[in-house]
Structure formats: C-alpha cells, structure tokens
Amino acid sequence: MRKLSSKFNCEVQKVVKEDNVFTVESSCGTYKSYHVIVSIGRMGKPNKPSYKIPPSLRSPVGYNLDKCGNGENVLVVGGGDSAIEYACDLSDTNEVTLTYRRNDLTRPNPTNQEMIYQYVEDDRVTLKLGVDIEDVESVEGQIQVNYADGTHEVYDRIVYAIGGTTPKDFLKACGFTLDELGEPIFDENYESEVKGLYLAGDIAFASGGSIAIALNHGYRIVSHILGK
C-alpha cells in the first residue's frame, strides 16, 4: 500500500513540469510528483470594494471574522452565504447590520435565507438592502459609511464578504492557461492543458462554491488518474 503524507503550514509558490515529472516548489521544500491537483480556493485573494479604504481604517476593516471581537457595532457587506453566516455568527455578541446592494437576498442557499430572515425578525440582525456604499471615512475613531441614498451610518467594524478573486499569477506560475476572462482552462476531468495538472474546488468555479461539488471534483480527478 502507498504511503500518504501531509505537509501543513506550507505555501506552494509554483509548479513546473519537466520530463513528465512535476516539481512543486514550496516554502517547506520541493516535491516531485506525476500528478498535481491545485485546490487553493479563492479566499486567499478576497474581493475588495471599488472605493479606497483610508489607511487609518485598515485595522477595523476586514474580509473574514479574524479580527472581530465582542460588543461592537459591525457592518457586514455582501449578499451571499458567507455574508449571512458572518452576520448571524457575529450577532451573538455584537450589534450587526447586513448591507447588500440588491433588494433581495436570493443568492444564499435556502437554509441561510431562512436563517437571516429569522434573525431579522428576532431583531438580532438589521438589514439594509438595495443601496450601494459610496465610500467610507474615518470619523472620530469610527467608520462612517456613506450610502448612495444620501444616508450615512457609523460602525466600529466592517466585514466585507464579497467573494474572492482568481489568483491569476499563481495559476500562470503553475502552467495553467487562462482564458480571455482570466479564468483557468480545464476539461471535463478538471485537467488543464498540461497533462497531469488538475484544478479542483472553488478555483474551478467562476463564482460561489460548495463543499460537495469540490469533493466531486476530487473524485472525478482521482478516477481519471486511475483510468476509470
């Protein structure tokens, strides 16, 4: 039986194929392999708003829950599953507003849609829908959010949950060809134009993501490698 080994806290920098063998260059050394499956997700490069975040607000503005604490007045920006889960989680110990530029929350899965409307009904989360944010500014140590409808509100913290970006430079460094939209090209087996180099999980989606679909990618790829 073959041995399976893992390496944690290890960042891959690039993958090079030479003489039918891949060399994976990483922060903890180089590895040789006949097949490589890249499944690095998209959250390493979260989408940022189009307006500039003033440098003084870098600390109270984030793209996940890492810096969040308790007892704050938090604005969560976004209309997907992540935004809803962040808002509901934070509302246990914070005052939370969820804002989304569209009028309806139709993108999240049914469970999350039901959850957010229940939280709103229970006064645990405030919704501000159908309005864009024009910009944010620092006012007396807090964040003033200026909405496009002319209103403004002040918060202690903002969490943006507006998706992630394709890490184009990384993918190019691994040998993937990108299409005209900058998305990686792969076939029905998730194999790239380089034989033996595959893509799985969120990185193989144009937007959104799902654990079940990511697992299916893995199954499909391994079946293809095994010739099944």
Ligand X SMILES: Cc1cc2nc3c(=O)[nH]c(=O)nc-3n(C[C@H](O)[C@H](O)[C@H](O)COP(=O)(O)OP(=O)(O)OC[C@H]3O[C@@H](n4cnc5c(N)ncnc54)[C@H](O)[C@@H]3O)c2cc1C
Binding site for ligand X (CB under 6 A): 11-12, 39-41, 43-44, 81-82, 85, 201-203, 209-212, 214
Minimum distance from residue 15 beta carbon to ligand X (Å): 10
Strands (E), the chain: 12-18, 21-26, 29-33, 36-38, 61-62, 73-77, 95-100, 125-129, 133-139, 142-147, 152-155, 157-160, 197-199
Q: Are 45 and 54 in contact (CB under 8 A)?
A: no
Minimum distance from residue 137 beta carbon to ligand X (Å): 28
Would you say 131 or 213 has its CB closer to ligand X? Answer: 213
* Residue whose Cβ sits closest to ligand X: 201
Instruction: Assign 163 to helix, strand or coil.
Output: coil
Minimum distance from residue 199 beta carbon to ligand X (Å): 9
d(CA 178, CA 114): 38
Compute φ and ψ for 106, nearest 5 degrees. -100, -15
Q: Which two tokens stand for residue 86?
A: 């962040």
Minimum distance from residue 121 beta carbon to ligand X (Å): 21
d(CA 128, CA 132): 10
* Distances 194 to 42, 168, 187, 197, 217 between C-alpha atoms, Å: 21, 16, 11, 6, 17
Minimum distance from residue 155 beta carbon to ligand X (Å): 20
Would you say 81 or 191 has its CB closer to ligand X? Answer: 81
Minimum distance from residue 20 beta carbon to ligand X (Å): 23
Would you say 154 or 215 has its CB closer to ligand X? Answer: 215
Would you say 151 or 216 has its CB closer to ligand X? Answer: 216
Would you say 38 or 57 has its CB closer to ligand X? Answer: 38
Would you say 43 or 225 has its CB closer to ligand X? Answer: 43
Compute φ and ψ for 66, nearest 5 degrees. -50, -45
Q: Which two tokens stand for residue 209?
A: 């993501």
